[in-house]
């Protein structure tokens, strides 16, 4: 996998990344705050 010039533009464009920031914040919160628990209890 190679990072292309277009991908680099998307990665560093502040306007696009501002939306990405909101999206990632929500998604990360969903993953880490969606609970944890046992693996032994049925």
Binding site for other proteins (CB under 8 A): 1-3, 8, 10-14, 17-18, 20-21, 24-25, 27-34, 36-41
Backbone angles phi, psi at 22, to 5 degrees: -65, -45
- Minimum CB separation from other proteins for residue 35, in Å? 9
- Minimum CB separation from other proteins for residue 11, in Å? 4
Q: Are 19 and 27 in contact (CB under 8 A)?
A: no
- CA–CA dist 42, 34 (Å, integer): 19
- Minimum CB separation from other proteins for residue 17, in Å? 4
């Amino acid at each position: 996998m190679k990072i292309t010039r277009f991908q680099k533009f998307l990665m560093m464009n502040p306007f696009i990344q501002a939306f990405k920031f909101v999206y990632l914040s929500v998604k990360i919160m969903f993953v880490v705050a969606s609970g944890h628990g046992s693996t032994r209890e049925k």
